[in-house]
Amino acid sequence: MSVSHASPFSIKTQSFGSLSEGGEAQLFTLANGRGLKVVITNYGATIIGLWLPDRAGVLADVVLGYDTLAEYEQGTCFHGAVVGRYGNRIAGGRFQLDGREYTLPINDQPGGLPCSLHGGPAGFHRQLWTAETRLEEDAAVLELSHLSPAGHAGYPGNLLVGVTYRLNQDNGLQVLYRGETDAPTLLNPTQHAYFNLAGAGQGKIDDHILQLAASRFLPVNAGMIPRGEMERVVGTPFDFVAPRPIGSQLGEVHEQLELAGGYDHTYVLDDPSWRKRVAAQVLHRESGRLMEVWTTEPGLQFYSGNFIPEGERGKAGVHHGPRSGLCLETQHYPDSPHHPGFPSTELRPGGKFHSETEYRFAVV
């Protein structure tokens, strides 16, 4: 079914198949009439594809992913999904809130140190979200909502969470998060799309030029858990204050690169205002495709795709591998419940969680 409107925006809805445990997933294609098209499924609130022109006007899908719903059900890389309740890691799969300890499923154990990652094996990325679409004067909009019941994946509180994707006329894709709870809980959602501005399956992202609005990052232990301090990036391979190729210092000897197999660290954004401001810029010189990431969040997890399986089959028969895509996950810091000095991820009854991230695309 297609929805038409006098504006150049359009939304197309179609089936994406049946889930193994029941329920029908859908695909939503949002287009702005300016060459930008994004395909999203309500399974995991997942970005399936994002089509951008290069400087010659040639379109390419710049988001890694799969062809079928079954592959998303079985995948382990969180391709394109919204993850939570807690994006990133919680050490030991445990946290305390108001004097009570909660135990979470363990799904990630780097360095032999257990933790819970991205809300656990059955987090938001494994849920079928309720979807509504609409056309506005200046945007195509997909609203997704999900009720996460108290006790699911070990978290307290019935949580009503929402994600709105808004494709605007300025080639921006806004991602707006919201949440409410009936009991104290944690909430730290983020988007886990892997980008390759050359096109999905078109080699590594080492030649992408990255700039981050952050002069500090969070060093981690062997379990990829922040140690607690913030370290200056100057004089280290983690310095992207000035733009440079991602791969230019990956070969340097540095404890943090060795622990993560590359970059998989939270950067502390220099502007502490919580207003929407630029956090990152990525350029692929050959195609001219440019992406800026704007956010209201205090941190950004830069992941260079170190553990994408070699030979993983992607869309249209292309193959992925380590560093074939990069993630720029806007979020609060990992393991915040164990670090009182980190911004709080607690959400309480009567409070409303709001967060906004926008991916802005251009050709230079």
What residues act catalytically?
Answer: 192, 329
Quote the Cα angle for 32-26-21, to 5°. 155
> Given its phi and psi angles, is residue 131 left (phi above 0), alpha (psi -120 to 50 degrees) or beta?
beta
The structure tokens listed for 345 are 């991820």
For residue 29, give the H/E element and its range.
Answer: strand 24-31
DSSP letters along 181-201, please?
Answer: ESS-EE-B-EE---B-TT-TT
Report the alpha-carbon distance of residue 94 to residue 76 in Å, rounded.
Answer: 22
Say which amino acid occupies 205.
I
Report the alpha-carbon distance of residue 318 to residue 328 in Å, rounded.
Answer: 22
Phi, psi dihedrals of residue 64, rounded to the nearest 5°: -70, 150
Phi, psi dihedrals of residue 259, rounded to the nearest 5°: -65, -40
Q: How many CB atoms lie within 10 A of CB 8?
A: 11
If we measure between CA atoms, which residue out of 315, 357, 316, 267 comes closest to residue 79? 315
Contact 122, 185 (CB under 8 A): no
Report the alpha-carbon distance of residue 195 to residue 313 in Å, rounded.
Answer: 16
